[in-house]
A and B are shown apart, each in its own frame.
Chain A
Amino acid sequence: MVDAIAPRIELVGVSRRFGERLAVERMDLVLEPGRIHALIGENGAGKSTALKMVAGLVAPSEGSVRIGGEPLASVTPRAAMDRGVGMVHQHFMLVEPFTALENLILGVEPVHESAWSKLPLLGPLLFGGRLDLDAARTKARALASDAGLAVNLDARVSDLAVGEKQRLEILRVLYRGAKAILLDEPTAVLSPLEVTELYATLRRLAERGHTIAVVTHRLDEVVRFADDVTTMRRGVKVHAEKLDADARERATETIQRLTRAMMGGDVPETSRRPPIPADAAAVLELQSVHVAGVGSRCLTDVNLTLRSGEVVGVAGIEGNGQRELETVLAGLVRAESGAIRLDGAALFTDGGDKAAMVRDARARGLVVVLDDRHHDEMILDATVSDNLVVGDLGAGGLATSSAVATDEAAVSSRRFERFAVEPRDPGRRGRELSGGNQQKVVMARALDRNIRALVLGQPTRGVDVGTAHVIHEAVGDLAATGAAVLVLSADLNELRALSHRIVVLSEGRIVAELPPSATDEAIGRAMLGVTEDGEAAA
């Protein structure tokens, strides 16, 4: 079904500037057909930008993109698509209310040709072709079975699980006849089993002659599945190698070598978790908590107790109750039934308004940092100094009356310095900061209070390694003071490094509790709801 070998794709002397910042600097890259090429680097290294240039989404400031030796004439998604390049984005480019089939054909819709549409001017406008969904369905089914991608074509995208959405994105790219497939951080939201399935699909496609390029920071996956590795650091290509069987055998060594290339040095070690005293009191308790929701986005009969000094990790496929857990603990969502207690005292019992509940919980020492930074934690258009005090402004009066003004300036300054936000100018707008620095602002604000229990949603997502390390250290320090910490993360390594134990959420239930030494496979099985006796949950 697939044509002959895909063309060679090259970036020749490519640079990309965003304002003052040089995101990519004079990069040369070659993507060979029939191979899986991994582009690695930590957050902010420029790898996504480089990939987007190949896909025609971002125009290079210098240099050229060549496909089969020919430079891309115009840098648009359409032009790249016409040359056989297809991209699967990190944040899916899907129209949620449409069906999978409609999303699949968007932009290349098959239509019934009719006499009407041939009318000049009005024809194409008014009779822009009646959609031929049957033809589309036939072609899609054939492609899907050929590539081994199972997708329910007539389901609404909003009803699809994350893994299925990703399969749809890959199918979309194939539907347009893509010979080169680019994927941006595809495994960030997948369970371990789904990761294996994805790479199996990619290998199948590569064997047929497609060019596959994956941007990722998961080195363990790279060593297992990739053929070629290119490393970027601060916008520059610093290392390239071909992985042979030997390199795969000596995985640890290879990973260390790649890590050093990525970081330009060794990674700081996270300090050991402090052990929990045997008689530690319960700090945060959830008892039979139910939160209503759509499909698996709910909480059903959740029982969880965090003791003083304990760090508990929450693993799970995205969309299985994580957001509900975060928001119910924050006070943004009301539990239908069940109780939430902090240091023995019940929370969220008044029928008060949302804002009061949020503030009350925070004042009592239950602090939640939600996972969607731009939606819930950071005002992009406001300055850093404003962001540092959002939600903490005192009651009443002008904030410039002497006492209060000094207070605010002192508080703001203290928070700014805590994690050393860069650039060193609190007057910058939030949107000018990198992901890591935005998270520093958010964490500094959250931690600057008396905390009994801290809930962190995806605390190091989109964050550079240096900042991630700082955040992990802060978690350890906090636990040492006797507070309890709940960390929800899609990064199993992070959970293993931080937690005393890991619970797994599936369809709104806690289905397993595992030690941090548990394998990816064990956690992965639990994420899919496979119970002890090997049966998948209904």
Chain B
Amino acid sequence: MTPILTPARQRTLLALAGALVVMNLASFGFGEAPLETLGRIWAGTWGTPYGIGQVLFKAIPLLFTGVAFGVALRAGLFNIGSEGQLAMASLAAGFFASKLGAGLPWVVALPLVVAVAALVGGAFAAIAGAMRAKLGVHEIITSIMLNRSADVFLPWALAVGLSVDGVRTAPVAEGARVPPLERWFPSFTGSAASLAFPTAVIVAFAVHAWTRRSRIGRELEWVGQAATVCEAQGIDVARRRMQAMVLSGAIGGLTMMGTVLGYKGYYELGLGAGAGFSGIAVAMLGRGGPVQLTLAALLFGTLAQAGIAINARVPRDAMGVIEAVVILLMGAAAFASSQDEVKSPVPANRKETAG
């Protein structure tokens, strides 16, 4: 009979505990009584419909980047380039959407814009992917170089003409906007939650099913586990790695859907900063499957919203600390529960094909 506290649940509890401890320490440091803080956190997150909506909104980018990182990781690749991929994709999509005719119906506009986002994200990731697949250059370094390159490119691109005022694009066409949830659920009025959230959840489930059932998905996993065996058995390792990176980039490209096409309605410099790295924490915590992944995204979304609920006295940087601690705890706990049914996503001593 399986114990109530399976290793996977132990890890989740550990993460929660770690997060709570850090929050408390932080709130102490800023002169707040913890109980008061907790009360405000509750009211601002799961205690009210508005709060729930905000949590969902904050969870959207985390879910997308979490899925993106997980897909690449399955193939044994570390796609740390999500930051750059999502930024480039968001700018491209935002700019493209702002140029669409106002009267274009959403059945045409929305898929088009989403396609542009996925394409640009995938293409940007393909650079790192190609360098790894064809030249054997490790994707960690190239991804980071590309992230920083995007950091330089974006302000320049906005400055030279893609924007209206130097920092943001023109508003996106009506047809390309993602409808907010309040349209169907009046209790969510005022919150930024939109259809982007259920979309993200569907993407998580779809990707999970696809990687487990399709030929490409299964071969991706085998490549991540033992690339040399796959090569000897006639699987095109380079191609699969490339596909993994491109898919990861494409999904990452959708990250700011809820913001650029939803809440804000335009792309602004700096949108989504940090989502790429948070996605790593989400992916680590949500290793068990799409349900676990969604819950992990909701957890971090709650933490992010909680930060705002306490009036930014415990600022964004506390979030960064919490995420880092969670990553470390999750990574360390993975070893402790080595008898787990969910094996570590990064097999120890994984061998690489030369080149």
Contacts and interface: CB of A to CB of B under 8 A. Distances in A.
- Indicate yes or no for A touching B, C-beta below 8 A: yes
Contacts of A353: 236, 238
Interface string A360-400: 00100000001000111111111000100011011111111
B234 A355 contact: yes
A354 B213 contact: no
A246 B229 CA distance: 50
A414 interface: no
A434 B226 CA distance: 19
B347 interface: yes
Contact of A375 (B210, B214, B221, B351): B351
B222 interface: yes
Contact of B232 (A356, A370, A394, A399): A370
B234 A359 contact: yes
Q: Which of B215, B237, B343 has the most CB of A within 10 A?
A: B215
B333 interface: no
A399 B231 contact: no
Contacts of B347: 381
A391 B215 contact: no
B213 A391 contact: no
B215 A378 contact: no
Contacts of A378: 226, 229
Given A381-B347, A398-B213, A399-B215, A355 B222 contact: no
A22 B351 CA distance: 30
A382 B222 contact: yes
B205 to A, nearest CB: 15
Nearest to B221: A382
B236 A397 contact: no
B225 interface: yes
B213 A358 contact: no
A396 B215 contact: yes
A108 B165 CA distance: 69
B229 A379 contact: yes
Given A393-B215, A397-B214, A399-B215, A332 B232 contact: yes
Contacts of B148: none
Chain A interface main SS type: loop
A373 B142 CA distance: 33
B343 A381 contact: yes
A386 B215 CA distance: 12
Interface residues of B, number: 25
Nearest to B239: A355
Contacts of B139: none
Contact of B235 (A332, A355, A375, A398): A355
A379 B222 contact: yes
A354 B228 CA distance: 12
Contact of A397 (B215, B230, B351): B215
Given A375-B351, A395-B215, A396-B215, A390 B229 contact: yes
A399 B219 CA distance: 12
A330 B229 CA distance: 13
Given A332-B232, A355-B236, A393 B225 contact: no
A478 B236 CA distance: 29
Contacts of A354: 231, 236
Given A375-B351, A397-B214, A382 B234 contact: no
Contacts of B235: 355, 390-391
B2 interface: no
Given A381-B347, A390-B235, A391-B235, A399 B218 contact: yes
B311 interface: no
Interface string B234-267: 1111110000000000000000000000000000
Q: Which of B210, B222, B347 has the most CB of A within 10 A?
A: B222
Please name the 9 residue pairs, one residue from A and one from B, whose CB atoms are nearest each other, closest first: A391-B233, A355-B236, A376-B232, A358-B234, A359-B234, A379-B226, A393-B215, A381-B225, A391-B234
Given A379-B222, A391-B230, A395-B215, 18 more contacts: A330-B232, A353-B236, A355-B236, A355-B239, A356-B236, A375-B229, A375-B232, A377-B233, A378-B229, A380-B225, A380-B226, A391-B234, A393-B219, A397-B214, A398-B213, A399-B213, A399-B215, A400-B213
28 contacts: A330-B232, A332-B231, A353-B236, A354-B236, A355-B231, A355-B235, A355-B236, A355-B237, A356-B236, A358-B231, A359-B234, A370-B232, A375-B228, A375-B229, A376-B228, A376-B229, A376-B233, A377-B232, A377-B233, A379-B225, A379-B230, A380-B226, A382-B222, A393-B218, A394-B215, A395-B215, A399-B214, A399-B218
